[in-house]
Structure 1
Amino acid sequence: MFKKILVVCVGNICRSPTAELLLRNALGQSAITVSSAGLSARVGEGVEASARQVLEEHGHCAEAFKARQLTSDIVNDSDLILVMEKTHVNQVLKIASHARGKVFLLGKWQSEREIHDPYRQGKAAFIHAHALIEDAVSSWAKRLGH
């Protein structure tokens, strides 16, 4: 049983906080905790403006979020680690090689679909990324029993 799920992207200001928020909401009153971190995090920054706007348009609030850097301690403390791109798997394993069995693509259930970084690509890219994240989160939530 998974108790702590970690979502990882690069800067921890666009994709992973979006997935963190959506997955936390999808899991509802579950005992599972969801957090996120970045491989090259913009530590202390909030959700990027376009990502926040898309979240708000879908009824979510991301005001309290602050980006954090992925560390081996965070990896060790997580039961399941969901990443956005295949290259992120190897980057997580460079930080903590023993995590191999618990790192998966967020888009695993969508034929191992990667969710590419919308950063600095305009609002349409954020809308697309949000839709892909929402789809992937829904699949994980079902598999986690919610």
Structure 2
Amino acid sequence: MFERILIVCMGNVCRSPAAEYLFRARTDSPGVNFTSAGLCAPEGRPMDPTALELLADSGIDGTMHRARQLAPSMLHEADLILGMEKSHVDAMVRLVPETRGKVYLLDKWLDGNDIPDPYRQQRPAFEYVHEMIARDIESWRPYL
């Protein structure tokens, strides 16, 4: 059973916080703690407004989110780590090699694809990414 799940992207303002909040809302596993961080996060920055809007459309309030920079201690403490892109998975394993067995791509159970970064793009790009994340979360539910 996973108790601490960390979701990672680049800036921790679009994809990983959206996944964090969607996981929280859609997972029935009590005692599971979802957090997120970024490989190059602008510390303290709120979630992107379009990502917030899409969460709000699903009845989820993400306004409390603030970007966090990924630290090696976060990788050590997590039971499961999910990256948005293969390059994120590789970067985390390079940063802390002993985490190799618990770092996976969010899209692991479906197509094994990267989830593209919608940052600084129009709403349709965010909608596409939001749908991908929601689909991937559903694929992880049997394992949580």
- TM (normalized to structure 2)? 0.96
Structure 2 unaligned segments of length 5 or more: list them: none
SS in 2 for 1:7: strand
Greater mean alpha carbon deviation, residues 8-17 or residues 134-143 = 134-143
Aligned residue in 1 for 2:66: 66
Q: Match of 1:106?
A: 106
CA contact (8 A) 2:82 2:103 kept: yes
CA distance in 2 between partners of 1:8 and 1:67 (Å):
11
Q: Which amino acid aligns with 1:42?
A: P
Q: CA deviation at 1:34?
A: 0.5
Distance 2:101 2:47 in 1: 29
Aligned to 1:94: 94
Distance apart, 1:142 and its partner CA: 2.4
Q: Which amino acid aligns with 1:95?
A: L
Describe the SS at the equivalent of 1:35.
strand
Offset of residue 29 of structure 1: 5.0
- Runs of 5+ consecutive residues of structure 1 not aligned to the other structure: none
The alignment yields a C-alpha RMSD, in angstroms, of 1.0
Q: TM-score, normalised by structure 1?
A: 0.95
Q: Distance in 2 between matches of 1:95 and 1:143?
A: 26
Bigger shift: 22-31 or 121-130? 22-31
Deviations 1:87-123 (A, max 9, x none): 1111111221111000001011112121010001110
- Deviation of 1:28 after TM superposition, in Å, equals 3.1
Give runs of ≥4 in structure 1 deviating > 6 Å.
Answer: none
Report the number of matched residues: 144
